[in-house]
Structure 1
Amino acid sequence: MNSRNIVRLFLSTLAVGGFTAGIVGFAARWNEFAPMFTALDISEILSTFIWMFGVGLIFSVISQAGYFAYLTIHRFGLGIFKGPSLWNAVQLVLIVFVLFDLVYLRFITFGNGEGLGSYLGLAVFLLIIGSITAFIKGKQTNKQAFIPALFFMVVVTTVEWVPVLRVNNESWMLFMLFPLLACNAYQLLILNKLIAKSQQELENRKAKNKQTGVNRNEQIT
């Protein structure tokens, strides 16, 4: 992928994270922000949105760091396990392990008399969104891409989400989760298109240079 499309991916992912956080932030913390909407305090609404947009940019940077880290780990995994078959099996085990820990560890740490349902719900939601994204990724490329995509959406998102999970504040958990999911899904689904676009731009540049060389030769002769 050429440098122009790398910059495009970075900036567009920032925008996805910022706008998602700005929108979801109001919904996740509606009890706190509802009075300003009731009073139609435009300046307060705008300043709050800008603040949440800025926080979303931070979430986006975390997401992008996680994505490029996973691309490196994926290459190492394919090399260590001699191909996708065994590496995909390892990733499946890690997905199950992370989902179990996401429910069990949070429940034994924070579940003071609460039911298991709310803790299970977040894990199921993460699995559903991850599965949908992985299915789309598999349709874009091939069936072998499903498990790596699911691993990224579930395991890497959970790792990126850890700072807020440790606090266990529901509004902040949702406030961070949705931008992370949006950015991770966006990067996962847009990367192949940007790579193909970069290759097409390279071919066009080569064809243009070749045509320019032919024209120069014709002028000389």
Structure 2
Amino acid sequence: MTSRVWVKFFLTTLLVGGITTGIVGFIVRWNEFDHLFANFEWLEILSVLFWLFGVGLIFSIISQMGFFAYLTVHRFGLGIFKSLWNGVQIILVLFVLFDLVYFRYKAFAEPGEGVIPYFGLVAVILIAGLLVAALKVKTTNKGAFIPALFFMVVVTTIEWVPVLRVNEESWIWLMVFPLLICNAYQLLILPKYNQESAIQRQRLAAKKSST
């Protein structure tokens, strides 16, 4: 990817994170902000929106760090495990999904509380991962399904860990949706930017050859 295209990729992902967090923030924390709309306190609403947008930029940067880290890990995995890498990724996906239920239940469950409510987060992550992986297959090839699912489940969960450890429900949902959307955006849009980079390189090569 050329530097110009990378900057474009970086900035558009930032906007995705900021806008998504601004929307999701008002939805998941509506009970904190509903009085602002009831009283038409537009300056307060704009200040909250600006704050949420800034938080979304941070979430986007975390997402991008995770994405480029995964690209490196994926190359290492292919080099080390070769044809077994897909199997390793499936095992890791199952392990992370199990941990999202088991360890959160062990750490935060109240006495007598059932385990069923702790499957909610797992369902969100898994459904999002399956949908994005299916879309990735349509835009590329069948071999992209498992890596895409791995990225959406395992990498998103790793990026999400700081909030999961605090276990504040509003922050859990506030962070997970922007992360999922930013991760999905990067995964699905990357081929377009790679193609744009290839076109730019061809143009530069043509200019050099002509001179």
Paired position in structure 2 for 1:31: 31
Paired position in structure 2 for 1:102: 100
Measured in 2, the distance between the counterparts of 1:24 and 1:91 equals: 30
Give yes or no for the alignment of 1:176 onto 2:199: no
Paired position in structure 2 for 1:6: 6
Measured in 2, the distance between the counterparts of 1:40 and 1:182 equals: 30
Deviation at 1:208, TM superposition (A): 4.4
Measured in 2, the distance between the counterparts of 1:148 and 1:5 equals: 23
Instruction: Tell me which amino acid in the other structure corresponds to 2:105.
Output: F
- TM-score scaled by structure 2? 0.96
- TM-score scaled by structure 1? 0.92
Measured in 2, the distance between the counterparts of 1:57 and 1:136 equals: 25
Measured in 2, the distance between the counterparts of 1:120 and 1:6 equals: 37
Paired position in structure 2 for 1:116: 115
Measured in 2, the distance between the counterparts of 1:136 and 1:207 equals: 35
Paired position in structure 1 for 2:78: 78
Paired position in structure 2 for 1:129: 128
Query: How many residues are treated as equivalent by the alignment?
Result: 210
Q: 2:90 aligns with which of 89, 92, 109?
A: 92
Measured in 1, the distance between the counterparts of 2:200 and 2:38 equals: 51
Measured in 2, the distance between the counterparts of 1:30 and 1:144 equals: 41
- Secondary structure at 1:81's aligned position in 2? helix
Deviation at 1:209, TM superposition (A): 4.5
Structure 2: stretches of 5+ with no match in the other structure: none
Deviation at 1:197, TM superposition (A): 1.1
Cα-to-partner distance string for 1:104-155 (whole Å, 9 max, x where unaligned) = 1101111113332321011011100011101111111111111011000000
- Structure number, greater radius of gyration: 1
RMSD: 1.1
Runs of 4+ that moved beyond 4 A: none
Structure 1: stretches of 5+ with no match in the other structure: 214-221
Please show how residues 153-168 of structure 1 align to structure 2 within 5 Å: 153-168=152-167
Cα-to-partner distance string for 1:62-106 (whole Å, 9 max, x where unaligned) = 111111111110000000012xx3000000000000000001110
Identity of aligned pairs, percent?
A: 62
